[in-house]
Each structure stands twice: as structure tokens, then as C-alpha cells.
Structure 1
Amino acid sequence: MTAAPPSARIARSAYFALLVLVLTNLFNMLDRTIVSILAQSIKVDLNLSDGDLGFLLGTAFAVFYSVVGIAMGRISDFVSRKKMLAFGLALWSVMTALGGAATGFLSLSAARIGVGVGEAVANPCSHSLLADVFPPRNRALALGTYLTGTFLGSAIAMIVGGLFVQSWPSFCSAIPIAGACSLAGWKAALVAVGLPGLVLALMVLTLHEPARPNVARTGIVRIIVREIASALPPFTLIVIHQLAGWPGTVRNFLLMIAIACVSGVLTWLSGDAAQWIACGLGAYSIATWGQVQSYGDKPLYRLTYGDPTFLLSIVSTALVACIIAGISVWAAPLAMRTFAISPVKIGIGLGSVFVLGSLLGVVLGGWLTDKWKASDARAPLHMSAITLLGLVPSIAVIATTKSVEVFFGAYFFLSIFASLWSGGIAALVQDLVLPRMRGAAAACYSLVAIVVASGIGPYWTGKVSEMTGSLATGIVSILLLAPLTLLVLWLAAKRLPHESAAHRLALAVEAGEPIPG
């Protein structure tokens, strides 16, 4: 099988791949987000603050996801994507289950870091595979359908997590494992959702993978080591020196010092060393990977880090995602603190309205974006602006209502708007690069968005909650990012009409890309 041309009939194997990748994405989000509904129990059991929870709910996962994921996006352009994805799925499943053995902040942080490392392979491999087997006319809808796994996984996490928190003591006696009932409900939940991913990893290995001319047959270990070293300090200094000599090494060292100083100041102001050390590591790794590509793959750099249109598009994506993350991971703890209802009812309520709203939003958004894009290339960015404008009143109602029915209703509308934009933006990122760069582009898009969204959004909300004594205030405060987000979307939309496929190819050729044919 080869990558599908624009007018090709879609093969049945493409639909099977889409199904398996949706399930993979489901487990990706299930294992990632279940800690949200478990957060209140974790806080009490491990004696944590809301700032600590913000780190565990976002930063611990996101930053190390970025450090490894930067390399994984590039590696996925050279190795078997299905093998790489199966390995990552098995790793994050095991690390999720090991979270059930955590006894404190540090051990649970280590487990969540492991989940981030494993999940770093998911989006680059999946986006690249789907972009190869579905033609451009169907790509936004295919990627939007893939993202339904995100919403299903998050919904199932709410429901399953609520059930375990409330009912584990009553049904653990039926499990024929000695000591099962001695586990706290949140620990049992992590074990239960982690282990089934090992079976799915075997299914991923059955996928048919399109042939690619740049896939390495030999030297795979060298490629993996090189790309990981390109993102992981202090090995980054060695890679930079090999590519650019002392001038490049000095520039990278100065970058490291500058980020360390900023992280130190933020640590001094907030008192949260783990948060800002992790964010500093993520920022350094992302910036260094871009510097490496500017020396080692100039065409890739020219179309991604070195291109204002690409940068504005992914920064706007990151800001929208940050606002969404600021409410989504804290919705369940807010409901538990506000309403006198059981965790299982909150889990079922939030999970049900989330999956209904999100499925409606992502399919409708993907379809509308494909139609709109036929006449206006800026459609994905416009859809992002619509998402943002719809989030503002929904978040305001969620943070202020005293009615659980109104809370669930507002969360339903938030779920619709929060999912309208995702498929179109993912397709836009793929459209801005050449086919051989799809894995790396997906990594750039996913990693910048996740570092900003998961690394800043949950922490911001938790820290403001800790400072003010009000989680609702913390949630509303994230809307301070809305004006900046609209400005970046507008700047990106101004540039996009000029970014034809021929223009993007010309930029790559100018940077050294061989002329096709």
C-alpha cells in the first residue's frame, strides 16, 4: 500500500486502521485523564495542595511527553509507525497501572511522567498514518473521527473513575486477588484502566502500513539515539556541537541559561520548583529541537519552526487548548466541592454530557471545516475562534452556578465548542508541510499544544485556587488568555490565504529540498 492520492478510492484497510487508532486514542485519553475524577481522593489520601494537583493533572505528564515526543515525531518519519505505536501503548499502560502503587507526591509524579513518555508516540504515528491512507478531501473528517477517541476516553474516565472511588470497597470482594480490598479506590482504578492497553498494543501490530521511501531499513538504532539526544539535555549540546560547531553550542548554552533564569524567578515567586523546572525543561527541549532541525533538516525547519504561519497556527492552538484544559481537568473536583452528590453520579453526569457534546462537536466541526475550507483556507482558524467565543459563557456558568443540572448543561455546551476545532486544525498542520514531514509536523503541533495546555492550564487554575481559596475563581481566571488567543488567531488568518501547496513546496526547495520528479 502507498499513500493515497487525492482522488483514490479509500481502502477497507484504511477504515480498519482508523478504528484501531480511535481505540488507541481512547486508551490514550482514558489513562491520561482519569486522574481528574480521582483528584479529590488523591488530594485527601496523599495530603496534597491544589498546586500539587495542578502539577500532577498536567505538568508531570505534559513536559516529559514533550521531551520524548519531539524526538518521536521525527523518528516516526523513519521507522515503522505501527511498531513504534504498539511499544508506546504498552509503556503508558504499564505506567498507568504502576500509579496504583504510588505512596506519595514523588512516586505518583514518576508514574505520570512515565505515562507521558509512552503517550508521546501516539499522535505523531497516528496522524501520519491517517494522512497517508486518507486523501486530502477526507483528511479533516478522518482526523476528526480519530479524535472521537479523545472524547470517548475522557468520558469513560469520568464514569469509571467515579465508580471506583465510590464503589470499590463493595465490589472488590468479588476479585480473586489477595489484598485487592486493601487498595484505595483511586489506586484500583489506575490498575484497572492501565492493563487492558497491553491487549490493544497487539492489535496495533496487525495494521497494514503504507510504504514510504524515507523509511530506514538499517541504522534504526542510530536514528532513534540521534533524535532523542537532539531533545534531551545535556546530550543536546553534543548534537548541536556536531552540527554547528562552537557558535551553535554557545547559542544553545545561552538559551539554556536564559530558560534556567526564568524558571528560577518563577520558582522564587511561586514556591513551586517542580512545576517550573519541568516547564523549563520542556521549553528548552522544544526550542533545541528546532535549532537542531535548522542545521540538520533545513526544509523541515523552514516549513515549521522557521515559518511564521506555522508558528502562529500552533501557538493559537496551544492557547485555545490551555483554556480548555484549565476547566476540563478541574470540572469534576469543582462539582465534588460544590454539590452534595456522589462521585459516581458526578462521573456519570459529566462523562455522559461530555461524550455526547464532544462527539457532536468533533464530527460537526470536521464536516463544516472541510466544506468551509473549500472556499476559504482560513476555515480551521475561524472554527478555533468560534470555539473560543463559545467557551467563555460556558465556563462562566460552570464556575458560578449553584444548580447541578445547570452545571451539567453548561458542560454539555462547553464540550460541543471545545471539540469543534480539533479536526480542522490537525488537518491544517498536515497541509502546511510536505508528506515526508508529517510525523514531525504532528509532533510540533501536539507537543507545543500539550506543553502549554497541560503544563500551564491545570497548574494556573490550581494555583489561583490555592491563592484565593476558590476553585471557581481559578477556573474563571484562565479566561484572561482569551484576548491574546483571538489576536494570535487573527494574525495567523491574515497569512494563511497566501500559503498554497505550490508556495510551501517552493519554500522547501529554496531551503534545499530536492525538486519532486
Structure 2
Amino acid sequence: MTDASVAPSNTSVVHPPKSPPVSPVRAWWAIFIFTVALMFNFLDRQLLTLLITPIKADLKLSDTQISILVGFMFVLFYISVGIPISRLVDRGPRKWIIGAGIAFWSLMTACCGLAQNFWQLAIARMGVGVGESCNGPATYSMTADMFPREKLARPISIINIGMVMGSGMALLVGGYLIVWLTELGPQSFPIVGTLKPWQMTFVIVGLPGMLWALLMVMTVPEPPRKDAGTGAVTPSFAKVLGFLKLWSPAYFAMFVAAGVKSMLSFGNAVWSPAFFERSFGYAPGEPGPILGAIALVVAPLGLLIGGQAATWLAAKGHDDANMRIVLWVSLLLVPLAILYPLAPTAWMAFTLYGATLFLGSLGAGPANAAIQVITPGRMRGTVSALYIAVFNVMGYGAGPLIVALMTDNIFKNEAMLGSSMAVAAATLGPIGLFLSWKALKPYARAVVAARERDD
């Protein structure tokens, strides 16, 4: 089945030959760079979750205000800039877009450390969102042009190791850093004046990303697009929306399922350090190294196994391999996500946290690969940006906010944070599970159509 909206408009034109593909060595080098870039992305993004307690005390903020800083202030500009940038991704040099984004979000993370009130921190968080919006669409678009469709789940799963490494490093390194800086106390610096420990943490963590931006643009190859030389042009935004409408049974269920499950996962992840502090008496920053160490062990393992499992299923002839893995994982994940914040002891809570993180990681790579597999090459940047927008608005924006609103307005007790997290999981988990099941058959049909288009 070939969709007219993605077919060449003039087949009589003689086109130049395609550029040679990127060699396997250079392709895997690019995957390494993408993985570390995503690590910096989530390291900068997640750092605020570890610093909730000192920021709340210093700036006199409520849980709801913190959730807005963590979520909507970040997401609002992430998506408002991400869609226009995705149009550039479908047209131009993608590695330069990624490099510029890394440099900008790293600078804005450092600027978070200069904030003196809620609005200054909010503006810096908006800047982090603007920079990070450059990364996902361009990274996935380049990866899809470097690897064959049936093997795409593995490199994308490896890239997503950067996400969990960044989150884990934010907890592990950030945890030790904030404890050390707290013992050191406020310090005075030229020009910026006196900075408190949480402010110094942002500055120290943010600046190294500038160096990785240089490495990105200097060493990563820009892969030729798979439709290069065929006369294919970048479709208009209206045509992209038309394609999504044509395949809406697959895309709608996949987008919303990912968004609902991200509400669950981000809601738990953002509030986990505070949960251990409030429920089990840990000091600010103290749970971070334990949570980070758990993440650095179980999440990469889950991503590698999930990517390999999807690749194996695809090789066995299952067109729905990616979404089948997502569904199977969800069946196990939902009950554990409900039990985790209700654990009566800290060691049991840490164990359940690791189990939920492992299961969530199993499905992350196949879920992202599923979008790339069924989307035409010249639409991948835009479709990825829309997917990431849904993922972030629902997950990173609404997920932490729902938990905070229940804590502030229903339970009206900070110590009941675990109950808020459990109620959110019990509500959202079954919805995500149902939508993942609904996506199976439409997704398999879309895979077959994509194979026939051969883009």
C-alpha cells in the first residue's frame, strides 16, 4: 500500500545517485554519542527532582509549584519550539541541530543555579526545555537512516540507555554532590555573588554538556536520507497530519498509550527522592545514590533485553513485535507500580522501585522504534516531535502535577505522598495497558504498509 502523500511527485526527473551509507563503525560511534547526549539531557532534566527539598525550603514553594517547575514550565516551551525545529530536522543538517540544542540546554541548566525566586527558576527551566526539544526528533531520524527497519529496536534501545543513565547519574552523582556541597555551605563567586549548595549543583552539572556539543558536530556523520536521490521532498505539515490521520488507529493508540504510561512513570520518578525522605526519614539528597545505583544497573539491562527481544520477535515474522513487547511489559508493570509506594519498609520500596524501572525500560526502546518503523523518512522528525510532545505533556507535565495535587488537596499531608503515587498508578496503569492492546493490530498493518513503501 502506497500513500500518495509520501510518493514522489515527478518520476520523470533524473536524480543523482544516492550517497553511500554510513559504515557500521561510524554508525555505532554515532549511537554512542547520541546515548551520552541523551544522558546529559536527562541528567539536566532530572536534577531538579533531587533538589526538591532544599529548593522548597529556600524559595518557600508548595508541592504544586514544584511540580509546575519540574513539568509544565519545562514542557510548555519544549513542545512550542520542538514542532518548528522538527520541520528543520526533516530538511536540514540534523547533527548541527542536536549540537546547538546540547549547548543551549547545558547553559540553561547552569542558569537554574543562578535563580533567586520561582520565576527566575521557571524561565531557566523553559530554556532547558527549548534546548532539549532539539535532541529527540533529530536523533531518531538519523538513527533510522543508519540502520535497517527490522534491526532498529536495538540501537534505539541503546540510545535510551542514555535516558536512564542520565536519570541515574542525576540521583547518584547529584546525591553525593549535594551532600558534599551542603557540608561545604554557601560560597561566594565573582560576578554571580553567593550561591547556595543546590544552586552550585546546577552550575557544576550543567556546564560539561558544552564540550559534548562540540564532539557531536565534529565527529558524528550526517547520514544520507534513505529517500535521497528518489525525488522525495519534505511533506508539508498538513500532509504529515494527513498521513497520521490515515493511520490514526495505530498512531493514536500508540501516542496516547505512551503518554498515559509516561504519566505513571514520570509521576513516580519525579517524586521518588521526596517519597523516601518523607516516608523513611532520609535526609535531602540521601536517597539519591541508592536510587541512582539501582537505575544504572537495572535500566540498561532492561533496555538491552527489550531491544533484543523485539528484534528476535521481528526476525520470527511478527509484524507487531515492538508493540507486543510493550504490551507484555505493561501486564507486569502496572501492579508493581501500585505496590511500590505502599511498601512498609525502605528496603522493600527500593526493591520494588528497581523492579518497576527494569520493566519500564524493557518497553522503552521498542515503543520508540515502533514510531520510526512505520513513519516515512521525510516525516520522522515531525512525527517524532509530535510523539515526544504528547509523551512530555502527559508524562512530564501532568504526571508529577497529578501526584502533587492529590497530596496538597486530597490527602493534605506531605507524609501521604506514597498514597498519592499509588492512587495515580492504580488509575493510569490500566488505561495504558488497554491502549497498548488496542494498538497491536493497527500497528502490524502499518508495518506491512511501510515495508511496501520501502522508506
Query: Is the structural similarity TM-score above 0.5?
Result: yes
Tell me what 1:198 maps to: 210
Residue 265 of structure 2 aligns with an amino acid whose one-letter code is I
Aligned counterpart for 1:431 among listed residues 357, 362, 373 = 373
Structure 1 residue 184: deviation in Å? 1.7
Aligned with 2:71: secondary structure? helix
Is 1:485 aligned to residue 432 of structure 2? yes
Distance (whole Å) between structure 2 residues aligned to residue 381 and residue 29 of structure 1? 24
Structure 1 residue 61: deviation in Å? 0.9
1:80-479 residue pairs with structure 2 within 5 A? 80-171=93-184, 177=189, 182-206=194-218, 207-212=220-225, 293-294=237-238, 298=239, 300-308=240-248, 309-374=250-315, 375-467=317-409, 468=411, 469=413, 470-479=416-425
Tell me what 1:261 maps to: none
Conservation of the 8 A alpha-carbon contact between 1:314 and 1:448: yes
Question: TM-score of the superposition, structure 2-length normalised?
Answer: 0.87
Residue 109 of structure 1 aligns with an amino acid whose one-letter code is A
Percent sequence identity is 28
Structure 1 residue 139: deviation in Å? 1.1
Tell me what 2:443 maps to: 496
Structure 1 residue 134: deviation in Å? 1.8
From the superposition, tell whether residues 323 and 59 of structure 1 become closer, same or farther in structure 2 (CA, over 3 Å). same
Structure 1 residue 398: deviation in Å? 2.5
Structure 1 residue 138: deviation in Å? 2.4
Q: Deviation per CA, 1:356-376: give whole Å up to 9, x if none.
A: 111111110111111123332
Distance (whole Å) between structure 1 residues aligned to residue 319 and residue 20 of structure 2? 23
From the superposition, tell whether residues 3 and 490 of structure 1 become closer, same or farther in structure 2 (CA, over 3 Å). farther
From the superposition, tell whether residues 397 and 501 of structure 1 become closer, same or farther in structure 2 (CA, over 3 Å). closer
Conservation of the 8 A alpha-carbon contact between 1:164 and 1:186: no
Pick which of 66-75 and 22-31 moved more. Answer: 66-75
Conservation of the 8 A alpha-carbon contact between 2:334 and 2:430: no
Distance (whole Å) between structure 1 residues aligned to residue 227 and residue 321 of structure 2? 32
From the superposition, tell whether residues 505 and 121 of structure 1 become closer, same or farther in structure 2 (CA, over 3 Å). farther
Q: Deviation per CA, 1:309-348: give whole Å up to 9, x if none.
A: 1122111111111111110111011111112334444111
Is 1:53 aligned to residue 66 of structure 2? yes
From the superposition, tell whether residues 3 and 471 of structure 1 become closer, same or farther in structure 2 (CA, over 3 Å). farther
Distance (whole Å) between structure 1 residues aligned to residue 193 and residue 288 of structure 2? 22
Question: TM-score of the superposition, structure 1-length normalised?
Answer: 0.77
Tell me what 1:281 maps to: none
Tell me what 1:278 maps to: none
Tell me what 2:50 maps to: 37
Residue 326 of structure 1 aligns with an amino acid whose one-letter code is G
Distance (whole Å) between structure 2 residues aligned to residue 324 and residue 57 of structure 1? 14
Conservation of the 8 A alpha-carbon contact between 2:342 and 2:422: no
From the superposition, tell whether residues 109 and 454 of structure 1 become closer, same or farther in structure 2 (CA, over 3 Å). same
Conservation of the 8 A alpha-carbon contact between 1:160 and 1:189: no
Is 1:77 aligned to residue 90 of structure 2? yes
Residue 411 of structure 1 aligns with an amino acid whose one-letter code is Y
Distance (whole Å) between structure 2 residues aligned to residue 208 and residue 366 of structure 1? 24
Residue 110 of structure 1 aligns with an amino acid whose one-letter code is I
Conservation of the 8 A alpha-carbon contact between 1:77 and 1:214: no
Conservation of the 8 A alpha-carbon contact between 2:42 and 2:163: yes
From the superposition, tell whether residues 42 and 387 of structure 1 become closer, same or farther in structure 2 (CA, over 3 Å). farther
Structure 1 residue 59: deviation in Å? 1.3
Structure 1 residue 491: deviation in Å? 1.8
Structure 1 residue 211: deviation in Å? 2.7
Pick which of 117-126 and 487-496 moved more. Answer: 487-496
Residue 195 of structure 1 aligns with an amino acid whose one-letter code is L
Distance (whole Å) between structure 1 residues aligned to residue 120 and residue 444 of structure 2? 49
Paired residues, number: 425
Distance (whole Å) between structure 2 residues aligned to residue 315 and residue 463 of structure 1? 22
Distance (whole Å) between structure 1 residues aligned to residue 277 and residue 191 of structure 2? 29
Gaps of 5+ in 2: 1-17, 229-233
Aligned with 1:209: secondary structure? coil
Is 1:14 aligned to residue 27 of structure 2? yes
Distance (whole Å) between structure 1 residues aligned to residue 99 and residue 293 of structure 2? 29
Conservation of the 8 A alpha-carbon contact between 2:331 and 2:433: no
From the superposition, tell whether residues 188 and 132 of structure 1 become closer, same or farther in structure 2 (CA, over 3 Å). same
Q: Deviation per CA, 1:452-507: give whole Å up to 9, x if none.
A: 1111101001111111122112211212022222222222113223224446867x
Gaps of 5+ in 1: 216-222, 228-291, 507-514
Residue 42 of structure 1 aligns with an amino acid whose one-letter code is I
Structure 1 residue 417: deviation in Å? 0.8
Q: RMSD in angstroms over aligned alpha carbons?
A: 2.5
Aligned with 1:133: secondary structure? coil
Aligned with 1:208: secondary structure? coil
